Structure 1
Amino acid sequence: MIDVGAPSQERHYNPDPHAHPGLHAIAIFEAAKGLLALLAASGLEILGPVPLQRWLHELINRFQLDPHHGAIEWLSNALNPDSVHLAAAIGLAYALLRFVEAWGLWRVRTWASWLGCISAAVYLPLDVYALVQHPGWLSVAVFAINLIVVWVLARDIFKRHH
């Protein structure tokens, strides 16, 4: 039985001594990604499809693109209230996932290292593809950052289990 009158015990932050020191830096990075996703999702909900359709038509006119061809036609047809709400919901879910991961990494939780390692590793094949198709400093930087994140988190998991 819980004694309601008893003073509450504070939970002290007790980091794992084997955890990699880069976990806090990755946590900040993940929280920043979550904040950007939250801002994008909010922006989609605030704007709605009408300004997005107007901006797309302005781009088509400015760059003299064919509005009835390929991705431009698909995007023009896809900009409707339902798709904007769906994109905002996906952005919100992504933001929540990044915030949960950031909290776990900040608190040096093993599950957060697993989550971060897997979610960063998923992007590595896409990063390699981008590096081959569009070589340049940006592709190299994105690949290097994701590789470092995977390495730091995998090393953290390995050290905790051994």
Structure 2
Amino acid sequence: MTDAHYNPDPHAHPGLHLIAIFEAGKGLLAFAAAFGLELLGPEPLLRWLRELTLRFQISTEHGALAWLSNAINPDSVHLAAALIFAYGVLRMVEAWGLWRVKVWASWLGCLSAAIYLPLDLYALFRHPGWMSVAVLAVNLIVVAVLARDIRKRRD
């Protein structure tokens, strides 16, 4: 069934519109993070990393922190900002499609939320708590709503 035959009434799709708002919020946060990285540059990031390692008495000679302190430079900050910005664009495109009740947006949202489910389960077992449960629950709800939407379009 095509989008033209699907009910465009906004009241018929409150779940899609709620997810669209959620995705748009993630997109706006990603834009803010990307612009923040570009404005800050590597110097404050390196200073904050040094302050954290001193405060918590963590060694930066080996491991992930050593790699991170060596990896933070202007080029890596620009690359990180570009990737975060691209993620924001993807979230905003998905939000627009969900708001306009497009089937491709339901597929995109369902797949992108489902990709995180194994990581959510891992986080739940490694760090049990209300936050892990909440993140898993939200992603399961998003996948269920979007999968239901896709299934309805096929009937």
TM over 0.5: yes
2:123 maps to which of 107, 130, 149: 130
State the percentage of identical aligned residues: 74
SS in 1 for 2:59: coil
List per-residue Cα deviations over 1:50-102 (Å, max 9, x = no partner): 11001111111111110102111011011001110000000010000000000
Q: Between Structure 1 and Structure 2, which shows a larger proportion of helix residues?
A: 2
* Over 4 Å off, 4+ runs: none
RMSD (Å), alpha carbons: 1.5
TM-score normalised to structure 1 length: 0.88
Q: What is the total number of aligned residue pairs between the two structures?
A: 149
Structure 1: runs of 5+ lacking an equivalent: 1-13
Instruction: Give the one of 135, 139, 151 matched to 1:146.
Output: 139
Residue 39 of structure 2 is aligned to residue 46 of structure 1: yes
Pairwise CA distance, 1:21: 2.4
SS in 2 for 1:15: coil
**Unaligned segments of structure 2, at least 5 residues:** 1-6
Cα separation, 2, equivalents of 1:150 and 1:20: 15
Paired position in structure 2 for 1:4: none
Partner AA of 1:111 in structure 2: W
Q: Which is greater in Rg?
A: 1
CA drift at 1:16: 6.0
SS at match of 1:28: helix
